[in-house]
Structure 1
Amino acid sequence: MKRVVLGLFAAVVLHACAAHEKTGDRAAAVGDWKAAYASYRQALASEPDSPEIKLKFDAARTKALQDARQRAQTCAQVNDWNCALAESDFALSVEPGNAEIASFRAHAAQRVAMAQLDTAVEQAQQGQYAEAASLMDRALELSPVPEVKAHAEDVRRIITTQGRAQADRYLHEGNFIAAHELAQLVLRLDASASAWAQNIAAEYEHFITEEVERLSREGDAARAQRDWGRAQQSYGAALSLRQGGRAAPLEAYVRHMALADQRIAGRDWNGAAEAYHVALRTGQDDGFANHQLERVQLRPYRFVLHSVLVTPGRPDGRAWVGASNDIFTRLANRVTQMARQRGMTDLVKDLAMSIPHENRPQLRIEVHHPDGMHLTTQGRHGIYTDYGAEFVAIANAFDNRPVGFRVYIDGPHGSELLGSVDVPVHELVERRDVSLEGASILSLRLSTVSDSRQPGPYGGMAHVVPAPPPGARPPGARPPPPGRGHVASPTH
């Protein structure tokens, strides 16, 4: 196994060597000796015993060195000292011990440094103190000769004198951050400004403390309104001024609360729950995250269809079934009026039960389950009927899937849709006991309770089986009522 590994490694090295050599050959063919030198050097490092590669490397090295020296001289003649410095740096990397190149490089570095200092003087006079100081530092790194140091002292003097005056103006204007930054720059260049810089630092610290607290209070107000985005912005601004403090855990709290909202919008219940858990771990929850965590947890719920009360008659006043008369009309008007004014009271139920038998339709309710099942109750006579039918589904307080209820009147000639009501699952989960209304439905009473069963069970209802295609019905069989399928026997 070891031999195999070593063989593979050798193959990789040889492949890399060949690739570098080919790259060097292409560069040499067009006279790009710097690139050829670099490629042959890599190839030689991979295969140091190759006489062919060593020959190519030596030739490229000589050519690259000649080109660099020639270009350096050409650049110097036109006062392009940055170019001259770059070329001499390359030449020294090829031949480090060459005193002539080193001397030329030192002269080029001095000229570049002096030009940088000229620019630094202009920047300092224009109030660009940080940029001027940066150029001054780079110039001193390039060339430590006395001429450069003397010119750098001019830059330092302008920065410390004019910068100190500008920092005082910033302080007077209330721009404490700019005053402090400039004072620290002046202090770095002039140790004698220590006491002055300390006074500005004290003013700055006082301002930062008050500003952090102000921003944190803004975050508190937004957090109280559950405006997580605005709260995060305020706490983040406080942290940008000073890390740590009370804003740090609060920013983490509102950030994860906002994340939970985003995941809820995408129906990522598990992701939302995790975000609430992280928010709780910050120790900043006032009970809301814990409440939301409870609401987002998926669990089985039992939805119970208790009863339905419909209008005694059609919109035009006629009874749903049977002939209308004065007694029916008076009772119908009374039931409808009291139900709409007082809701489902015992008196309304008694009045509904007083409707003449011949005017009591056979009511049946079909349920469109949130998981896609289509269920139905048995038909029962009366404008008010009890069912006690139920089904179980997995849901939470954010589930916006609709549950549909369709109330039908069954008769000898088929089924007639009396009215329908749709309600989102989360409303049933949150409210627990509801009475829905719609069109001719005066009250459809439902309740919701937690259940230990898995989704799917139902009671007091049966599946509505889709009707088969016309060709699949046995000869002579009657088609199902319009808009419905076959109904199995309800379970109890």
Structure 2
Amino acid sequence: MKRVVLGLMAAALLAACASAEKAGDRAAAVGDWKSAYSAYRQAVANDPDSQELKAKFEEARTLALEDSKKRARACEQVEDWNCALAESDFALSIDGGNADIASFRMRAATRVAFGMLDGAAEQARSGQFHKAVEEMQRATQLSQAPEVKTRAEDVRRHIVTNGRARADGFRQERNLLAAHELAQLVAGLDGSLAGWAQGIAAEYEQWVTVEYERLAREGDAARVHHDWPLAQERYREALSLRPGGRAAPLEEYVRHVSGAEQQLVHRDWNRAADAYRSALRTGQDDGYATQQLERVELRPYRVSLRSVLVVPTRPDGNPWVGAANPLFTRLAQKLTQLAARRGMSDVLLELATALPRENQPQLRVEALLPDGTRLTTPQSTGIYTGFNSEFVALANDFDEQRITFQVFMDDPRGSELMGSVDVPVRELAGRRDVILDSRSVIALKLSTARGDGREPGSFLGMARVQPMPPPGTPSPGHVATPAVP
């Protein structure tokens, strides 16, 4: 294995060497000796034993040095001192001990530094004091010539004089942030102005204290109105003036709450809950995050189907089952009238149970859950009938997904849909008793309660409805037999 690794490494070095040599050859062919020098230097580093490569490298080195000297002189003739400086730097990288090149480089650096100082003076005149200081410092780092130092001192005094005047102007305008920043810059160039700069700093700190509290109060007001983006913006503005303080935990609080609200939009209940918990850990909650956490956390709820009452007749006025007779017609009309005026009542239930038995259908209720699960109650006789059926579903106060309840009438010929009602999942979490209705369903009564440790997806007194088989497949039916608790 070791031999294989060594072989691969050797092959990689040879490939790199060949690539660098080819690049050097191409550059040399067109007289680009700087590029040839760099490429051959890499090739020799990859293969230091190759005499041919060493010869190519030495030739490229000599010619690149001569070429750089010529370019430097040409740049000097046209007073392009930046070019002259760059060429002399390259020449010194090849022949660092060459006194003539070093002397030329010092002369070029001095001229470039003078140009920088002229630019610094102009920037100071135009009010760009920070840039002026940077340019002055670059100039003095580039050249240590006495004449450069003298010129730099003139520029420094110019920056101090103009900078102090402008800082005092900012102070009068009550732009204390700009005044403070500029005063600190000027005092750094002239220590005798430290007291003056400290006076501005004291005014600036006083202003920061007042402005910090103003922004924090605006953040407080936005937080009270649950305008989380505005609250976060104001707290961050306060913190940009002075890190820490009371705005720091409040900014963290509204940031987490804002993130939680965004997760509500995306229906990511778990992440929303985590964000509300993070908000609570800041210690800044006024009750809102606690309330929202209680509302968003998914909990199992036991949904019990208590009873259903359907209208006694089909849309055409005939009974669901059996033949119409005077007693049925009279009772059905009375029941329908009472249901329209008063809703559910004991009288209504008495009328429902008083209908002739032959006109009482076999009913059951199917529940279609958001995850596609379909459950059914057992069959029970009567347009009003009670159930002892329940299922457990996860719910919170924000889930707009709907559970659909369909009321079916069964007879030997099959199942007939009588009516359908639905309810958002959030209503099951927020209400103990729910009564649903539609055109054919007078009242479907549900009750909800916490799951008390029951497993989500479990059910009692109900059975899963099996999918219908493909067309043409013999089947005894698609409804499983409910398990009665």
TM-score of the aligned structures, taking structure 1 as reference length: 0.86
Partner in structure 2 of residue 333 of structure 1? 337
Contact 1:228–1:254 (CA under 8 A) maintained in structure 2: yes
Q: State how 1:176-195 maps to structure 2 within 5 Å.
A: 176-195=176-195
1:67-146 matches, within 5 Å, as 67-146=67-146
Q: Which amino acid aligns with 2:370?
A: P
1:486 to 474, 478, 485: 478
- AA matched with 1:333: Q
Residue of structure 1 equivalent to 2:171: 171
Contact 1:311 1:336 in 2 (8 A): no
Question: Whole-Å Cα distance in 2 between the matches of residues 275 and 31 of structure 1?
Answer: 65
User: Which one-letter code corresponds to 2:455 in the other structure?
Assistant: Q
Superposition map of 1:56-75 within 5 A: 56-75=56-75
What SS does the aligned partner of 2:472 have? helix
CA offsets 1:95-121 (integer angstroms, 9 cap, x no match): 111111111111111111111222222
Distance 1:367 1:83 in 2: 84
Q: Aligned partners of 1:281, 1:3: CA distance in 2, in Å? A: 58
1:45-64 equivalence runs, <5 A: 45-64=45-64
Show the counterpart of 1:161: 161
Please tell me the residue identity of whatever aligns with 1:464: V
Which stretch of structure 1 is more off in the superposition, 96-105 or 395-404?
Answer: 395-404
Aligned to 2:207: 207
C-alpha distance in 1, partners of 2:256/2:103? 62
* One-letter identity of the residue aligned with 2:420: S
| Alpha-carbon distance between aligned partners in 2 of 1:294 and 1:336, rounded to the nearest angstrom | 38
- Equivalent residue number for residue 374 of structure 2: 374
What does residue 452 of structure 1 align with?
453
Q: Answer whether contact 2:392 2:451 (CA < 8 A) is retained.
A: no
Relative distance call for 1:285 and 1:24 in structure 2 (3 A) is: farther
Q: Secondary structure at the match of 1:256?
A: helix
Q: 1:335 to 1:200 in 2, by over 3 A?
A: same
Residue 273 of structure 1 and its aligned partner are, at CA, apart by 4.0
Which consecutive unaligned segments of at least 5 residues does structure 2 have?
none
Displacement, 1:451?
A: 4.3
Structure 1, unmatched stretches of 5+, are 478-484
Contact 2:377–2:389 (CA<8 Å) still a contact in 1? Answer: yes
Q: Compute the displacement of 1:247 (Å).
A: 2.4
| Per-residue deviation, residues 288-310 of structure 1 (Å, max 9, x unmatched) | 44444454444443221122234
Q: CA RMSD in A?
A: 3.0
1:47-96 CA-to-partner distances (Å, cap 9, x unmatched) read 33332222222122112211211111111212211111111111111111
**Aligned with 1:275: secondary structure?**
helix
The CA deviation at 1:463 is 3.0
Give, in angstroms, the shift of residue 318 of structure 1.
6.9
Identity of aligned residues (%): 59
Q: Using the alignment, how far apart are the partners of 1:239 and 1:167 within structure 2?
A: 24
Q: TM-score, normalised by structure 2?
A: 0.87
Q: Secondary structure at the match of 2:437?
A: strand
| AA aligned opposite 1:487 | V
Q: Is the Cα–Cα contact under 8 Å of residues 338 and 348 in structure 1 kept in the other structure?
A: no
- How many angstroms apart in 2 are the aligned matches of 1:88 and 1:148? 19
What pairs up with 1:49-448 in 2 under 5 angstroms? 49-312=49-312, 322-323=324-325, 325-339=329-343, 344=344, 346=346, 349-350=349-350, 352-353=352-353, 360-410=360-410, 415-448=415-448
**Is the alpha carbon distance of 1:447 and 1:174 closer, same or farther for their aligned partners in structure 2, counting shifts above 3 Å?**
farther
Q: How far did 1:166 drift?
A: 1.6
CA contact (8 A) 1:335 1:352 kept: no
The alpha-carbon deviation at position 387 of structure 1 amounts to 1.4
CA drift at 1:197: 0.9
- Counterpart residue number, 1:480: none
The corresponding residue for 2:473 is 472
Deviation, 1:404, is: 0.8
The number of aligned residues is: 479
Question: 1:370 and 1:84, CA in 2 relative to 1: closer, same or farther beyond 3 A?
Answer: same
The aligned amino acid for 1:254 is: V
Task: Tell me whether 13-22 or 58-67 shows the greater mean CA deviation.
Answer: 13-22
- Read off the aligned partner of 2:482 and give its amino acid letter: P
Deviation at 1:131, TM superposition (A): 1.6
1:266–1:90 Cα change, 3 Å: same
Deviations 1:178-230 (A, max 9, x none): 11111111111121211111111111112222222222223233333333333
Against the structure 1 CA distance between its residues 53 and 346, is the aligned structure 2 distance closer, same or farther, given a 3 Å change threshold? farther
Could you say if the C-alpha distance between residues 193 and 391 of structure 1 is closer, same or farther in structure 2, counting changes exceeding 3 Å? same
How much has 1:158 moved relative to structure 2? 2.6
Judging changes above 3 Å, is the alpha-carbon distance between structure 1 residues 204 and 368 closer, same or farther for their aligned structure 2 residues?
A: same
- Structure 1 281/23 Cα, relative in aligned 2: closer, same or farther at 3 Å? farther
Aligned partner letter, 1:334: L
Cα distance in 1, alignment partners of residues 246 and 21 from structure 2: 61
| Larger displacement relative to structure 2 (1-10 or 234-243) | 1-10
Is the 2:313–2:332 Cα contact (8 Å) retained in structure 1? no
d(CA) in 2 for partners of 1:416, 1:254: 54
Aligned partner letter, 2:337 = N
Query: Amino acid of the residue matched to residue 465 of structure 1?
Result: Q
